A and B are shown apart, each in its own frame.
Chain A
């Protein structure tokens, strides 16, 4: 009986669904995941999905082309609301990426083995979300073709970036974040690419995966260095993921605008990022496990854990919402106090109402275990949280800017159809990238799932 499934034993003890359905071996895990990429025929559903999101992506191309032709005047940005939807969307997309790094790095260091079946596509989600995010500040520059001026490079103009500006910090934070996420993702893929190389029957597939696997052969020496490098990368990514949204929040807090100039922003931004990120993980995981029959690997346990993380981070965000007006009142600054009065009673009161109901009130139903264990309701709540977190950024960017110190410089912000096209277009682009990823790379980390099996345990004294 000592051979008894370790995973089952633990989950039985807690009365919770297992991390992996029983009955799997190294071979069945390998074959099941690699067959999705190698042998599963291209289905009509996938083709239609790709066709649909590709058309959707055209909305983005259309909006961006017209933007290049005409300039940022086509957007609703004005004085005083200079940042508008562009920065709202940037913050929203970067935030979504955070869950991927949390799952891949922080949960790895915390030895949360359930992460092993969702880290791969969550990391892919991070990469695509950060790619969508990076688009917005560049488009918002007005002269996007000069975006490289943000990097310090020797130039004939003899000018350099201004390193006291949070906007320059942001360039470094987001580009480092993207690079490290890519490295981590690629390193995790190397052994799986070798598996695909060895399993592929098609000569082209074998060549391409073989090229990307770089001759990986699973040597003990290689694994040793690989493991060390993987842990070190996780250790580096852990402070990094906390720092990215902190730096994003510095874009706001370093300014003196009422509603922005607050020390609670960094932790509350990071919690909000993980909140929306796990919502996106669920939005992706629930259909993927259903359509690709991966209920064995992405079990109810994963969905429920993600729901609980959403609930916890959502409460941190709610705490932030309470502390912001409290500090404004406690600080006695009349501009700050007016800002929070304006949020609830000003012309954007309905946006604030939507924010509180979608981000604070509705997600409380996650306390009910029955809803937390229902994929349908988790999907609905995740959608609600994603929209709620987007609205939060609208409140921070638009509502804070529209009325600051001088009544003479108050104004209103009205998004144009081009604002909406650009924003919605990036969602199409994101799903296009995800759908292509599902077909060409293993969406679940094969070698890390093998490690979860009881057979993987070495049964001798060290």
Chain B
């Protein structure tokens, strides 16, 4: 076997169904450190590899709440405390007029936390990744589907895992060097 430390073994599949079935079998076999790669989101694949905790909704909720409270407090502080200005005899703390900007700042902060939260939780930007060493992997963004069982998995064994992946119907199994 190669002397380069191994990131994992990568198996290639023709269609999303085969990939999903393979991922489920690998999970049943006891593998946990693995990931599927596909050119579009495959329904149920994340669950099949044992990914349960999607914290995106929480991140966006927190972002939105911070924006909401922050936006309102900003207007209250500016209009009632820092720079009280009599406009047409309206009260300094004229809350109905503050709705619009509160809403806008809420949406802005929630939206920013959606994109940046997604990138952050996904660990992007990540310019280098071992998978990019595999020449066939460039088809993961076109029409091929991949399953990678990582070497850091306690059950990982180069020969046995390779045999297991071959048994799943995966073809073109390649070693992913670091």
Interface residues of A (CB under 8 A from B): 25-27, 30-31, 152, 158-166, 168-169, 172-173, 176, 179-180, 183-184, 186-187, 191, 194-195, 197-199, 210-211, 214-229, 232-233, 236-237, 239-240, 243, 247, 250, 447-448, 450-451, 455-460, 462
With the chains together, A239 CA to B40 CA distance in Å? 27
Contacts across chains A and B counted by CB atoms under 8 Å: 209
Query: Hey, which chain B residues are within 8 Å of A27, CB to CB?
Result: 142-143
Please determine whether B104 and A218 come into contact, CB atoms closer than 8 angstroms.
Answer: no
Contact mask for chain B residues 105-135; partner A; CB cutoff 8 A; 1 contact, 0 none:
1011011101101110110111111011000
Q: Which of chain A's residues have a CB closer than 8 A to the CB of B139?
A: 198
Q: Are A229 and B140 in contact (CB under 8 A)?
A: no
CB<8 Å pairs between A and B, sample of 24: A26-B143, A161-B78, A166-B100, A172-B105, A179-B108, A183-B112, A195-B142, A215-B128, A216-B124, A218-B38, A220-B46, A220-B48, A222-B124, A223-B38, A223-B45, A224-B46, A224-B54, A225-B118, A229-B60, A236-B60, A239-B103, A450-B143, A458-B17, A458-B20
Report the bound CA distance from A224 to B35 in whole Å. 12
How close is B170's CB to chain A, nearest CB, in angstroms? 15
Chain B hits for A166, CB < 8 A: 100
A217 to B137, CA, bound (A): 9
Given contacts A159-B83, A194-B141, 11 further A-B contacts (CB under 8 A): A30-B141, A183-B115, A199-B138, A217-B137, A219-B35, A219-B36, A220-B48, A225-B122, A233-B115, A459-B17, A460-B17
Known: A195-B39, A215-B127. A226 touches B122 (CB 8 A): yes
A27 to B90, CA, bound (A): 63
In the complex, residue of chain A having the shortest beta-carbon distance to the beta carbon of B55: A225
Contact status A180-B142, CB under 8 Å: no
For A233, list chain B residues within 8 Å (CB): 111, 114-115
Question: Least Cβ distance of B114 to chain A in Å?
Answer: 5
Residue B57 at the chain A interface, CB threshold 8 Å: yes
- Residues of B in contact, count (CB < 8 Å): 71
Where the two chains meet, the residues of B that have a C-beta atom closer than 8 Å to any C-beta of A are 15-17, 20-21, 23, 35-46, 48-49, 51, 54, 56-57, 60, 64, 74-75, 78-79, 82-83, 85, 87-88, 90, 94, 97-98, 100-101, 103-105, 107-108, 110-112, 114-115, 117-119, 121-122, 124-129, 131-132, 137-143
